[in-house]
Amino acid sequence: MYYFSGEINFIKRKEVKQHGQELITWKRAWFVFRASPPETVWYKDGTSGRLHQDRGGRLRQGSWVKLSYLCRHMETQKPKPGPLLAAIDTPDDLKKLREEQLPLLATELRNFILDVVSVHPGHLGSSLGVIELSIALHYIFNTPYDRLIWDVGHQAYAHKILTGRRDVFHTNRQQNGISGFPARNESEYDTFGTGHASTSISAALGMAAASELKGETNRHHIAVIGDGAMTGGMAIEGLNNAGASHANLLIILNDNDIAIDKNTGAIKDYLAKISGEKQEKNRPSGNYPNGLKDNDMKEAFLRSSNLFEAFHFSYFGPIDGNDISQLLTTLREVKKIEGPKLLHIITTKGKGFEEAEKKQTLFHAPGRFDRKTGALIAEDPENRITYQEVYGRTLLELAEKDEKIVAITPAMPSGSALGFMINKFPERVFDVGIAEQHAVTFSAGLATAGYVPFCTIYSTFLQRAYDQVIHDVALQRLPVVFGIDRAGLVGADGPTHHGVFDLAFLNSIPNMVVAAPINEVELRQLMFTASQYKEGPFAIRYPRGYGFMKASEWQQPFEKLEIGKGKMLKAGEKAALVCLGQPGNFALEAARQLEKENIFPAVFDLRFLKPWDETLLHHIFIKYNRIITLEDGVVRGGLGTSLAAFASLHGYHNKIENLGIPDKFIEHGSKSQLYKICNLDVESIKNAVRKLILP
């Protein structure tokens, strides 16, 4: 938490900043700070001492407030690095330390990450598990000349702090701050962006091949792959290619037995086996025929029994990845060996923080928490429910009524709220690991046998299975239901995780139904409708986080919706707001506020992008001269350009304004900040209407 030095008597909202972060003040507040989401204000009442939460409405216009006790009563101070960490701005500074000082540095680094992430939420457990590895790699290798890739990138917090970003680490995942993942445009030490899993081996191999072509024989290329990323098919493809090369490539397998949820599959079982047994127990001994020496036979047996040796990698380990002395010794030896090699390390996710070690899934990205106890600080809106919970509970209801309904997830059962169904029907939920391509085709196989697969995938990860959606599902008109989670802008995870392309890339696929609910009830009814649709794939995209209805309102009786049918939400005149999905709520609020200015736009919810309601669209174009489209996907290829094409095809000449994601990658920040950047917030919608209507 960040605080002011000196005495502050009066400050005004939006006028005082500390370390680039806007502070919101509160009358009689003893301390105030920004939380996530950014419109949340936490404050302690100066009279009762109770902790309160406010959504920011009462100070929206700004007001002068007295804060004479702000500094004296500040309960938490700015996290400060320990003396060793404070002296490290680059890995060159790290190398000045004696080896016996490194365990203390690891403690300081771990404490610093905890101090910051407890207040400024981010990914926690993964980075805590690789503190020692991060120090050892930068201590032994010559980064950034030696190329280092972190896969998945949320392991890289310690790496970022050691490579010049310590003093801005508190801006992590915030607007205009540093990214939560390695980013090439942020630092020369971030050699490759890794927001998605299983890419490091391929990227590092490409870099190694380039170095070989350049004659850079002394350059090392290191891929740290962990948090389940080795289960991804692309990692196996990279291993296959690298093993047939002579590349100077080191793969460090960070084996912590967990991605977000526990790892699944045979690779997980294999790693557990070789981690739990000493290889010597499996090596034969004695006299052997044909002149083979004892060591020759042992080596031959080891190579045939070790998966990575079978891929022609020199295999080392497993070793304790949280023992910095062992890491240093091993890395020095491995560094001397040419060709592709793999070091297998065992780490503990959440290492050094008791609650994070005990509750590894929860502390993967826990939000704000008490630094001392690990207790989570709830920031949930009162009496609201997330789209994810609506999806998970509705899917369980449908599964109870239809035994053919099954669920598939690529390593995201908790994030997509499939736990409800897992608890009751574990045999009907398939976690296939970080393998989106496989997840889609696996779902297609289930559909051929008469099952109703709900293939539940984050929008950003569905991009990885585009060919399978086309070739294995849509081409064969297989009735796979795609539950596309985290559609739209997701906030702090940034451009690697925004789900803004699915509308455009699904819109171009024949035989697809593409739908987007405006609220929780509509999500529920679309899921029911999709469960009974047999003519082909049915995609339902829904946003991350809380909806707009009270928690008691969403669980309404199932109702089958007419596919391709939209509806009018609000009558109006002159202008029409044509919406798809969640932005319809912003349009409704904008329309209500504009009534005070005697401006009365109509609001329409299309529900379906494909097929869409042509009868309704003709009505809109005939009645309203000015049309504004709203979507939380890219305009190009989505609703906006599709509506423009519809107008051209039918000879309409209405004025059309498209609001949505522009043709650029949107950086990280709070969802409300990003909506404003994309002109999807209420005020921007109002301005767009005024611009079209007023002379």
Residue 278 falls inside a structural domain: yes
Identify the band that residue 79 occupies on the pLDDT scale cut at 50, 70 and 90: confident
Decide if 72 is catalytic.
no
Per residue in 559-602, pLDDT (tens digit) is 999 999 999 999 999 999 999 999 999 999 999 999 999 999 99
Whether residue 223 is contained in a domain is answered as yes
Q: Decide if 3 is inside a domain.
A: no
Query: Residue 120: is its pLDDT beyond 60?
Result: yes
* Residues 195, 96 share a domain: yes
Which has more pLDDT, 43 or 169?
169
Closest CA to 452 of 385, 402, 488, 486: 402
Six-digit token pair at 106?
């690891």
pLDDT in tens, 484-519: 999 999 999 999 999 999 999 999 999 999 999 999
Q: How far is 693 from 446, CA to CA, in rounded Å?
A: 52
pLDDT score recorded for residue 275: 74
Assigned domain for 77 exists: no
Residue 458: C-alpha distances to residues 85, 178, 198, 418, 490 (Å): 37, 23, 16, 13, 11
The domain boundary, picked from 490, 525, 541, lies at 541
Question: What is the mean pLDDT of the segment spanning 397-407?
Answer: 98
CATH number for 153: 3.40.50.970
Please give the pLDDT value at position 4. 27
Cα 584 from Cα 598, distance rounded (Å)? 21
How confident is the prediction for the chain on average, in pLDDT?
86
More confident residue, 216 or 268: 216
417 and 326 both lie in a single domain = no
Answer whether residue 2 is part of any domain.
Answer: no
| Per-residue pLDDT at 592 | 98
Amino acid 270: pLDDT: 82
What's the rounded Cα separation, in Å, for the pair 229 and 212?
A: 26
Average pLDDT of 520-545?
A: 98
The CATH number of whichever domain residue 639 belongs to comes to 3.40.50.920
Q: Do 198 and 275 belong together in one domain?
A: yes
DSSP-assigned beta bridge partners for residue 541: 484
Answer yes or no: is pLDDT of 424 > 80: yes
Q: DSSP 3-state assignment of 405?
A: strand
CA atoms of 649 and 663, how far apart (whole Å)? 24
Last residue of a domain, one of 312, 331, 364: 364
Is 436 marked active-site? yes
- Among the listed residues 355, 389, 436, 631, the single catalytic one is 436
Do 344 and 467 belong to one domain?
Answer: no
DSSP reduced 3-state for 310: helix
Residue 555 is assigned to a structural domain of this protein = no
- The residues, any chain, with a CB within 8 Å of residue 660's CB and separated by 6 or more, are 629, 630, 631, 632, 633, 634, 635, 638, 639, 640, 678, 680
* Dihedral sign from CA coordinates of 374, 377, 383, 387: negative
The Cα 263–Cα 266 span in angstroms is: 10
**637 in the same domain as 493:** no
- DSSP per residue, 620-655: HHHH-SEEEEEEEEESTTSHHHHHHHHHHHTT---E
Which residue, 14, 35, 37, 5, is CA-closest to 491? 37
Q: Give the CB-side neighbour count of residue 471, counting CA atoms within 13 A.
A: 8
When mean pLDDT is compared across 37-41, 182-186, 324-328, 532-536, the lowest value belongs to 37-41
Has residue 544 got a pLDDT over 80? yes
CB distance 608 to 510 below 8 Å: no
Q: Which is nearest to 544 in space by CA: 462, 585, 488, 463?
A: 488
Show the domain range for 47: 10-66
- CA 409 to chain CA centroid, Å, is 15
497 closest CA partner among 669, 645, 243: 669
CA 456 – CA 462 distance, rounded (Å): 9
Q: Are strands 41-45 and 29-34 parallel, antiparallel or unpaired?
A: antiparallel
Residues 316 and 400 in one domain: no
Count CA atoms within 13 Å of residue 590 on its CB side.
27
pLDDT interval class at 25 (50, 70, 90): very low
Residues with Cβ within 8 Å of 537's Cβ and at least 6 positions away in sequence, in order, are 469, 473, 474, 477, 478, 479, 480, 481, 482, 511, 512, 513
Q: Helix or strand or coil: residue 686?
A: helix
Give the residue with greater pLDDT, 344 vs 228.
Answer: 344
Q: Lowest-pLDDT range, 23-37, 68-82, 139-153, 627-641?
A: 23-37
Q: Specify whether 208 is located in the same domain as 294.
A: yes
Helices (H), strands (E): how many in the chain? 25, 24
Examine residue 327 and state whether it is found in any structural domain, yes or no: yes
Q: Is 645 found in the same domain as 579?
A: yes
Based on the domain organization, do 580 and 627 belong to the same domain?
Answer: yes
Residue 505 lies in a domain: yes
Q: What integer is the mean pLDDT of 631-655?
A: 97
Parallel/antiparallel/unpaired status of strands 481-485 and 538-541: parallel
Do residues 144 and 90 both lie within one domain?
Answer: yes
- Band of the pLDDT at 264, cuts 50, 70, 90? confident
The residue from 368, 464, 544, 671 that is catalytic is 464
Q: Does 57 have pLDDT greater than 60?
A: no
pLDDT on residue 331:
97
Set 44, 349, 368, 486: catalytic member: 349
pLDDT band at 267 (very low <50, low <70, confident <90, very high): confident
Radius of gyration of the chain (CA): 27
pLDDT at 42 over 70: no
The per-residue pLDDT for 78 is 64
pLDDT at 260: 67
In this predicted model, what pLDDT tens digit does every residue of 170-194 receive, in sequence order? 999 999 999 999 999 999 999 999 9
Percent of the chain with pLDDT over 90: 78
Chain centre distance of CA 181: 10
* Rounded mean pLDDT, 380-407: 94
464 is catalytic: yes
Q: How confident is the model at residue 133 (pLDDT cuts 50, 70, 90)?
A: very high
Residues 357 and 421 in one domain: no
**Do 174 and 206 belong together in one domain?**
yes
What does the pLDDT read at residue 268? 78
pLDDT recorded at residue 277? 60
Number of domains in the chain: 4
Which residue in 477, 469, 476, 414 sits closest to 436, CA to CA? 469
pLDDT at 279: 41
pLDDT (tens digit, 9 = 90+) per residue, 83-103? 999 999 999 999 999 999 999
- The alpha carbon of residue 497 and the mean position of all alpha carbons in its chain are separated, in whole angstroms, by 5
Tokens of 561: 């919706």
